[in-house]
Structure 1
């Protein structure tokens, strides 16, 4: 087959050559549907590219593929097709990778999430075809299936300047929803609907007649405009107007039924757009699963701080299943008589993300007097429940029974007293934990039979429950309450702004994360001073660097091994599917290489002065108030424990990482046994089973089929790259309604590390993109994990979509004296790599100055002040 074929020909090509995306589009064209013009760069072109550059696909990396050069025949073919597509006018193209594996493996989704939009010249198309190929060798996919060799095709299509767009499911994918064809629509480009950034109009249409069964017209505040694809406020006249006319709905209904019929009756997930009155079909794929979304109201609040990442089925079955009671404060709730919280459904995993029962939270908040209620607690609720809580009669007498029981609870809980919890955790719990986890790790490595491994998994769970129920929940509660009281004292008692509150938290906090950072910095410094090591790290491969260390004794090699031994339970993501540093030490080599390019971190004297100045201001203001001496004493007490428990919380995260590394190890061993019995194709597939399914498999029951595992893999990977809805309300996903007067170029969140910085943005969605981050750039991410910490030494500021003052991003940003704004809804869609942005961590504001055309690589140092 040739290097490039027209999309219309893709329907006759093999899936291995063109991938699922291109073949589906080709079938639509062959069946007479309107699809934007385009072509497919075949997998043969990718193979030719690798051969020409001498790249062995078995050991290739994303970086080596991205640096390759095109052979002349491949470049000429792509250039010619691109020139024909773009023509002499002002057209633009979209470049999307198309997974080309036929075996139902992880690489059936390899690279299919890479999409590059609004490319206006041939050179840009060539560059992004190469980036699509490189994405198939990213760290994420190598982690999941290191032995598989991907084949990647690429789709290049003309962009449609959509006036309205959305999605259509030929069968309602929500199990709790009404049966029929499900349509969602918004004005402008469709990424706002597909990515879940806005609440779109939605319809359920009768499958036989097209009649509207259900209709919900949303208040639509934002849209992506054609051309530069910028977010802009919705014109006033369109905010509450239906995006679709009855004729357009009927056209979608007819096309949806026809596409399903042409797809052998398989239900389809279709992306569409209207432009110039014409309906274009942008993509179609089979609906893989019917999602069960519970009734009631569910919120990401709290969960997005405790567990921000998407959860694989195995991780979900542990966290929301085996450990659910420990995570949901059931024992204290029972002893205090808080019936609203005594229930089995406090937490649920919906579309791979953890949610808390907002109805239960609202009932509990109605017991607490308004003056004792933190704004943050009410803020995790949707507006309807906020109004219900604020409108209720919240008097002291309703909480009196719980308050009378509280002293007895605190006195009998082993870690329930704030003044000695931190000491008991460090002196009593940590040594016991280390002994027990060490014994379990030894059992995992030496066990031969599945029963012994399942026993080890159960022992891990017993230890995890003890840590979470007896230790973590109290330390977290103390940290959360101290931060809330401290903020009240600074803002309401001392009449100071939030900047002073944040300055108070700038004190360096000693914990395992800061220890690991210091140890990594020491290793980097040693490499800088060793010519051989530096040359190997800068110009050699990860494998060559590690091989060199194996031939050395003592010195740097022993210190590198000690680092892996001490901190190797960490990963860039806590989900069980991610390899830990101790499994893939090349991850640490990559961090060293990144550190080598970064400026050494120096503690800023100015930051300590800011902290002391804030303390002096608060003491001065409080001493002037009535009961000033008492206020100062209380403030000193709260400040002390706020700082103590912020540090302890990060320390406990490390011990949790050790538990999760143990879970990963034991389930991989069990996966080996299931592979040997012919029940799984690869041991890593075990993470796409639940714990109960693994137990049943060893008791003689069946394991899920290859097709079912593949569907779960694809669902999980899709979830990882999209922003989850903040709320689910009776089976429908929604996001908080932003202020109507909010500027499209000014985003608001929670400033958690003070200071300002202006620089070029770098969007990082996962560890596979760490290597793209340049010195002095502004890190923009859905959220971060302890495994992301080495990135903070290179950035000028941090912006995340989730989190609060206690969030890991906030703690590490304060340690590195980097301005941070967290909880910025839609940040990863509104800010693009290359945008010049200003991050104000004192006011919680992010301003977008550029238009995404900047060049971070050549931008130089950011403008920054603390």
Structure 2
């Protein structure tokens, strides 16, 4: 380059003083020297502007570069550093002709004094820094974008996330356009979000090539990178910028917290579809767990702790293994009654449901219905009246009382309502053996006998929840859905008619086998009764949640008035101890802690939490997986499909509609396939319009499974990552009998 002008070749910038060439040019020079496909260029330093005739010399030097158009970009000395990116603060000018180069260079230098840059210096606690300007041969792209070599939200270093648009990438970088998104791992290349409209920006091989280039650059530069790239008209891939990813969260670890199989889809986990907030974690959750053990003692006479843990904010629990020590503990605490109840409720119910019902379950059900449920309702009713005027210490007490009673109810839901899916598994095996021609699996199988039962109809109750985490509003607080619902009464009447017809057909088929028919009648009656009980118990579990939220928000109002927190809902990001201490003595401000915890929670709830952690013990095994295989039967799962739990039989095809929260309800259309992380009772209105349901979480006993059966729509739950692998509008076929979701290619 012309030494009199002190122009520096980009190829030499990697070894030049960064204070002279700037961060952007220094990084690109390093990459160009290392053999990366970086467009050639030159660097204009600040001293050049003081040399007479620099404009003519610049034009002559630029003439050596290929092409007739140029990209002119600021390159600050403090730019593209690990702790300060300066992204979007300086200037870039594209498609500049030779005659316009001097003006573009001047404007880039002038950007160093812009107010937005000065404000950034103030936030960083630094002063003005040196500036250079990079002039490069212009790439005329057919596609361009950015690539993050670690997931920018979760910090997962095993994922590369690419956003791409047609043509120049500037609108994407500036936030003016939404790009096509790809997520790439070592063994998978997947489009995770299409571009708006029917535009297809890249192919899978191109996305893989971009990811490979970005990761090679990250390896060379020694840290995760935010890379800008472009593919030109000839199909060549170029690297346009590399900068360290700033504020990258630490990658999440999903190690099991102890021995055994830890499940996030079991027990209370069915009601917690995402990471939980701090107040729930430190207050309502332990109160519910303690109440659960009180309920166990109430009906069984022992307390066998279910270990649970929060991992990256997600709830997991592990089933106690039937060790000799545990059995001895049961015998010592509850003597024979405990063994008798647990044997019938956990083992015998799956072999001979009617016998388990006669021996134990009917008495436990009666105890719940006649004693515990009335006590729960009375407590909620009294607390509802009291919560509006109660003093802070009484509000604390009310939460503890309501949470304990809800935990007791959860135990009865687990032991009584939880018996329903074990009974159903036995009914399914019976029907496959004796009634396969009357009740074929591909037409609903044994589930037809359990649909349209009086008392089991889904009800959109005001206390229905999105999550057991009390941060989320209950159904009564949500806006009414505006889209029309299918005539539920007519649909349920049709299902009841189908059930009655199926029962008659089964009895006719077994007419010549009186012993088998008697077993069928017993099995049918007990299954239908517990199917209704399960729905009743699930519906009433969250009776207390409107009052619980009222109590907590009342405490939040007091903390906000005292200046402890800024907003009422900030109370959900405090701990129980902080709330209690702030209501007495001299409270300390918690706004800083709240902001940090809220940000952490938003990151955690976006994580793809595994369904299980660890390994099952040899004696217990994976109980849920065994149930899934029994429900699926001998069906062979095809290659390239999403596999989950076969929760509600049947097949349906339709467009994917991602639902993340009730704010998405109004856009949900008749015939859409509901795809979500999980569903809860507050989501019930969507089922009347859905063609099928697919969830990341859930089991055969989950809310989505039960309601889908009542609406006779296919459901596949427990897929793990359907919300990541599918995209909005994509046509899929949901087979709720096989437990598969097949995207249309």
Q: Which runs of 5+ in 1 are unaligned?
A: 1-6, 10-25, 43-83, 97-114, 130-152, 166-185, 193-224, 235-242, 260-269, 368-400, 517-566, 731-735, 851-866
Which of 482, 491, 509 is the matching residue for 1:603?
491
Q: 2:450 aligns with which of 505, 521, 526?
A: 505
Structure-2 residue corresponding to 1:514? 458
Secondary structure of the structure 2 residue equivalent to 1:154: coil
> Counterparts in 2 of 1:551-700, with a 5 A limit?
567-583=461-477, 587-588=479-480, 591=481, 593-595=482-484, 602-603=490-491, 607-608=495-496, 610-612=498-500, 614-616=502-504, 618-619=506-507, 628-700=513-585
Query: Which residue of the partner structure matches residue 154 of structure 1?
Result: 175
Contact 1:745 1:849 in 2 (8 A): no
Using the alignment, how far apart are the partners of 1:595 and 1:95 within structure 2? 42
Query: Match for residue 487 of structure 1?
Result: 428
Residue 648 of structure 1, CA deviation: 2.5
Q: Following the alignment from structure 1 to structure 2, what is the Cα–Cα distance between the partners of residues 728 and 271?
A: 31
Query: Which residue does 1:405 correspond to in 2?
Result: 339
Q: Deviations over 1:518-571 (max 9, x none)?
A: xxxxxxxxxxxxxxxxxxxxxxxxxxxxxxxxxxxxxxxxxxxxxxxxx43334
TM-score normalized with structure 2 length = 0.62
Please, which of 650, 660, 673 is the counterpart of residue 755 of structure 1? 650
Q: Is the 8 A contact 1:38 1:85 kept in 2?
A: no
Distance verdict in 2 for CA 1:407–1:39, change over 3 Å: closer
Shift of 1:805: 3.1
Q: TM-score with structure 1 length normalisation?
A: 0.54
Could you tell me how far 1:787 is from its partner in structure 2? 0.8
- The 1:155–1:355 alpha-carbon spacing in structure 2 relative to 1, beyond 3 Å, is farther
Q: Tell whether the 8 Å contact from 1:231 to 1:744 is kept in structure 2 after alignment.
A: no
Q: Distance in 1 between matches of 2:642 and 2:549?
A: 38
Assess, with a 3 A threshold, how the Cα gap between structure 1 residues 457 and 277 changes in structure 2: closer, same or farther.
same
The two structures, once aligned, show a CA RMSD in angstroms of 5.4
Whether contact under 8 Å (1:91, 1:158) holds in the other structure is no
CA distance in 2, matches of 1:612, 1:85: 76
Task: Note the alpha carbon deviations across 1:338-380, whole angstroms, 9 max, x for none.
Answer: xxx934x61112122211126x35869999xxxxxxxxxxxxx
SS in 1 for 2:484: helix
Aligned-partner Cα distance in 2 for 1:692–1:34: 35
Q: Matched residue of 1:354: which SS? A: strand
Q: Deviations over 1:701-734 (max 9, x none)?
A: 866843332222122223333431123349xxxx
* Farther off after superposition, 613-622 or 294-303: 613-622
State the match for 1:349 in structure 2: 310
What are the superposed Cα offsets for residues 283-316 of structure 1, whole Å, 9 maximum, x if unpaired? 4325489989634452224244353343212223
| Mapping of residues 332-347 of structure 1, within 5 Å | 342-343=304-305, 346-347=307-308
Q: Which runs of 5+ in 2 are unaligned?
A: 1-22, 26-74, 92-135, 149-160, 193-199, 231-236, 328-334, 346-355, 616-624, 630-635
Give CA deviations for 1:443-502 in whole Å, capped at 9, x if unaligned. Answer: 21111x311211222221332243234x33332233233223223322356557544122
Counterparts of 1:300 and 1:348, CA distance in 2: 10
> Which of residues 266, 284, 293 is equivalent to 2:246?
284
Query: 1:1-22: per-residue Cα shift (whole Å, max 9, x none)?
Result: xxxxxx989xxxxxxxxxxxxx
TM-aligned CA distance change 1:686 to 1:619, over 3 Å? same
After superposition, the Cα gap between the structure-2 partners of 1:675 and 1:419, relative to the gap in structure 1 and judged at 3 Å, is: same
Secondary structure of 1:445's counterpart equals: coil
**Structure 2 partner of 1:806:** 701
Give the 3-state SS of the residue equivalent to 1:514 in structure 2.
coil
CA contact (8 A) 1:752 1:822 kept: yes
- CA 1:34–1:280 in 2, change beyond 3 Å: closer, same or farther? farther
Question: What SS is found at the alignment partner of 2:472?
Answer: coil
The 3 A distance-change label for structure 1 pair 700 and 87 is farther
Change in Cα spacing, 1:36 to 1:754, as seen in structure 2 (3 Å) is farther
Structure 1 residues 725, 484: CA separation in 2 closer, same or farther (over 3 Å shift)? same
Deviation at residue 786 of structure 1 after TM alignment: 0.8
Instruction: Find out whether 1:90 has 2:142 as its counterpart.
Output: yes
1:120-135 map, 5 Å = 120=166
What is the alpha-carbon distance in structure 2 between the residues aligned to residue 617 and residue 35 of structure 1? 73
8 Å Cα contact 1:119-1:125 kept in structure 2:
no
SS state at 1:694 partner: helix
* Distance in 2 separating the partners of 1:830 and 1:644: 38
Q: Which residue of 2 aligns with 1:255?
A: 222
1:633-653 per-residue CA deviation (whole Å, 9 max, x = no partner) reads 333233323233333233223
Q: 1:214-238: CA deviations, max 9, x gaps?
A: xxxxxxxxxxx99356999x9xxxx
Structure-2 residue corresponding to 1:300:
264
| CA distance in structure 2 between the partners assigned to 1:800 and 1:685 by the alignment | 30
Query: d(CA) in 2 for partners of 1:680 and 1:452?
Result: 21
| Cα distance change on mapping 1:94 and 1:804 into 2, 3 Å | same
User: 1:31 matched to which residue of 2?
Assistant: 80
Aligned residue for 1:504, secondary structure, equals helix
User: Helix, strand or coil for the counterpart of 2:522?
Assistant: helix
- Are 1:826 and 2:714 counterparts? no
Is 1:793 aligned with 2:664? Answer: no
User: Equivalent of 1:434, from 354, 364, 377?
Assistant: 377
CA contact (8 A) 2:146 2:228 kept: no
| Alpha-carbon distance in structure 2 between the residues aligned to 1:40 and 1:724 | 36
Inter-partner Cα distance in structure 2 for 1:37 and 1:794: 48
Cα 1:437–1:289 change in 2 (3 A) is: farther
Sort the Cα spacing of 1:357 and 1:613 in 2 relative to 1 into closer, same or farther, 3 A: same
- In structure 1, how many angstroms separate the alpha carbons of the residues matched to 2:315 and 2:206? 28
Q: Give per-residue Cα distances to partners, 1:746-773, cap 9 Å, x unaligned.
A: 2222333333222211111222222332
Spell out the pairing of 1:48-447 with structure 2 (5 A cutoff). 89-93=141-145, 117-120=163-166, 154=175, 186-187=186-187, 227=202, 252=219, 255-256=222-223, 283-287=245-249, 294-297=257-260, 298-303=262-267, 304-327=269-292, 331=296, 342-343=304-305, 346-357=307-318, 360-361=320-321, 405-406=339-340, 417-419=360-362, 422=365, 425-447=368-390
Q: Secondary structure at the match of 2:143?
A: coil
Shift in alpha-carbon separation, 1:676–1:840, aligned structure 2, 3 A: same
Give the CA deviation at 1:657.
Answer: 2.0
How big is each residue's C-alpha offset from its partner over 1:592-619, in whole Å with a ceiling of 9 and x where there is no partner?
A: x1227x6777327764454345445654
Compared CA separation, residues 795 and 491, structure 1 to 2 (3 A): same
Structure 2 distance, partners of 1:29, 1:155, is 26
Instruction: Give secondary structure in 1 for the equivalent of 2:542.
Output: helix
Superposed CA offset, 1:83-132 (max 9, x none): x9998643154799xxxxxxxxxxxxxxxxxx99544379x998x99xxx
Shift in Å at residue 424 of structure 1? Answer: 5.5
Distance in 2, matches of 1:333 and 1:249, equals 61
More deviation in 285-294 or 501-510?
A: 285-294
Could you say if the C-alpha distance between residues 408 and 579 of structure 1 is closer, same or farther in structure 2, counting changes exceeding 3 Å?
closer
SS of residue paired to 2:400: helix
